[in-house]
Amino acid sequence: MGFFREVEQPAAFQPFVALRETLGFVPNLFRAQTLLPRVIEAEARVAAAVLFNAGALSRIQKECILLKVAAAQRNAYCVAAHWQVLRGLGVPEERLERVVRAHRAAELPADDHALLDFSLRLSRHPTWVGARDLDTLRELGLTDRQILETVLVAALTEFLCTLSTGVGAVPDVTPPVAFDTAGAGDAAGAGATAGAGEAAGVRLGTAAEAPWDAPPPAGHAASAGPYLATAGLRPETFPPFAFFRERFGFIPGIFRAQTLCPDVLDAEAEMVGTVLLKEDLLTRTQKEYILLAISATNLNTYCVAVHCEMLRNLGIPDDLSDQIAVDHHLAGLSPADTALLDFALTLARRSAAFGADDIAGLLRHGFSEEQALEAVVMTALTRFLNTLQMGLGTRPDFRPRRAFPVERVNPRTAAAGPTDEAMGHLHGEGPEPDPDDDLVTLARARDAKAFGELVRRHAGRVHRTVFGIVRNAEDAEDAMQDALLRAYQSLDDFRGTARFSTWLTRIAVNAGLDKVRARKTHDSLDDLRDDAEDGEFQPRFVQAWGPAASPAASDDPERAHARAERRALVEAALLTLPLKYRLAVMLRDIQQMSTEEAAAALGLGVPTLKTRLLRGRLMLREELAPHFQRRPADAWRDGDA
Domain-located, residue 461: yes
Q: How many CB atoms lie within 10 A of CB 492?
A: 11
Q: Which residues pair with 199 in a beta bridge?
A: 202
pLDDT of residue 399: 67
Let me know whether 280 and 403 are in one domain: yes
Distance separating alpha carbons of residues 554 and 560, to the nearest angstrom: 7
363, pLDDT greater than 80: yes
Phi first, then psi, for residue 487 (nearest 5°) are -60, -45
Are 371 and 448 in the same domain? no
* Residue 441 and residue 580 in one domain: no
Mean of pLDDT values over 64-86: 92
* d(C-alpha 300, C-alpha 348), whole Å: 14
CA distance 367 to 171: 27
pLDDT of 591 = 80
Instruction: Annotate 306-328 with b (16+ C-beta within 10 A) or e (fewer).
Output: bbbbbbbeeebebbbbbbbbbbb
Task: Dump pLDDT digits (tens) for 369-423.
Answer: 999 999 999 999 999 999 999 999 998 877 665 544 433 333 333 333 333 333 3
Show which of 127, 147, 179 is a domain's final residue: 179
- Encoded amino acid at 78, one letter: C
What is the model's pLDDT at position 59?
94
424 located within any domain = no
Domain count, the chain: 4
What per-residue confidence (pLDDT) applies to 57? 95
301-313 vs 369-392: helix crossing angle, rounded to 10:
130
**Do residue 400 and residue 469 come from a single domain?**
no
Check residue 497 and report its DSSP letter. S
Task: Give the residue from 518, 543, 570 where a domain finishes.
Answer: 518
Shared-domain flag, residues 172 and 275: no
In a domain? residue 211: no
- For residue 256, what are the contacts with CB-CB under 8 A and spacing of at least 6? 226, 230, 394, 421
Residues 310 and 603: their CA atoms lie apart, in Å, by 22
**What is the domain-level CATH number for residue 510?**
1.10.1740.10
* Residues 130-154, mean pLDDT to the nearest whole number: 94
Whether the per-residue pLDDT at 185 is higher than 70: the answer is no
Q: How confident is the model at residue 165 (pLDDT cuts 50, 70, 90)?
A: very high
Same domain, 18 and 157: yes
- CA 11/CA 13 separation, integer angstroms: 6
Q: Residue 462's domain spans which residues?
A: 437-518
Angle between the N-to-C axes of helices 356-364 and 335-348, in degrees from 0 to 180, rounded to the nearest 10: 170
Please tell me whether the overall predicted TM-score, pTM, comes out greater than 0.75 for this model.
Answer: no
Last residue of a domain, one of 126, 160, 179: 179
- Domain containing 631 — which CATH number? 1.10.10.10
Could you tell me the pLDDT band of residue 186, with boundaries at 50, 70 and 90? very low
Question: If you count them, how many residues does the chain have?
Answer: 641
Q: Which of 198, 208, 169, 157 has its CA nearest to residue 50?
A: 157
Q: Is residue 7 one of the residues assigned to a domain?
A: no
d(CA 61, CA 59): 5
Residue 108 domain flag: yes
Q: 544-567 b/e with 16+ CB inside 10 Å = b?
A: ebeebeeeeeeebbbeebeeeebe
Co-location of 294 and 407 in the same domain: yes
pLDDT at 148: 96
Residues 267 and 401 in one domain: yes
Contact yes or no for 626/545 (Cβ under 8 A): no
What percentage of residues in the chain have a pLDDT greater than 90? Answer: 36
pLDDT digits (tens, 9 = 90+) for 504-548: 988 988 888 888 877 654 444 445 555 544 544 444 443 443 333
Residue 593 pLDDT level (bands cut at 50, 70, 90)? confident
What average pLDDT does range 468-479 have in this prediction? Answer: 85
At residue 211, the pLDDT reads: 63
Does residue 451 form part of some domain?
yes
Of 619, 462, 473, nearest to 541 (Cα)? 619
Q: What's the chain's average pLDDT?
A: 79
With 70 as the cut, is the pLDDT of residue 281 above it?
yes
Q: Give the confidence band of 153 by pLDDT, cuts at 50, 70, 90.
A: very high
Q: Do 488 and 569 lie in a common domain? A: no
Q: Name the band, by pLDDT with cuts 50, 70 and 90, for residue 497.
A: low
Q: What one-letter code names the amino acid at 165?
A: T
What's the pLDDT at 232? 79
In a domain, residue 442? The reply is: yes
**Nearest of 210, 72, 88, 58 to residue 149 by alpha carbon:** 58
Instruction: List the CATH number of the domain containing 278.
Output: 1.20.1290.10
Is the same domain home to 30 and 168?
yes
Closest CA to 305 of 154, 428, 470: 428
Query: How far, CA to CA in Å, does 454 sit from each of 441, 448, 478, 486?
Result: 11, 10, 19, 14
Q: Is residue 295 part of a domain?
A: yes
Q: Is the pLDDT of residue 555 over 70?
A: no
pLDDT tens digits along 13-49: 999 999 998 888 899 999 999 999 999 999 999 999 9
How many Å apart are CA 632 and CA 340, to the nearest integer? 51
pLDDT in the model for residue 440: 85
- 28 shares its domain with 155: yes
Q: Please check whether residues 459 and 591 belong to one and the same domain.
A: no
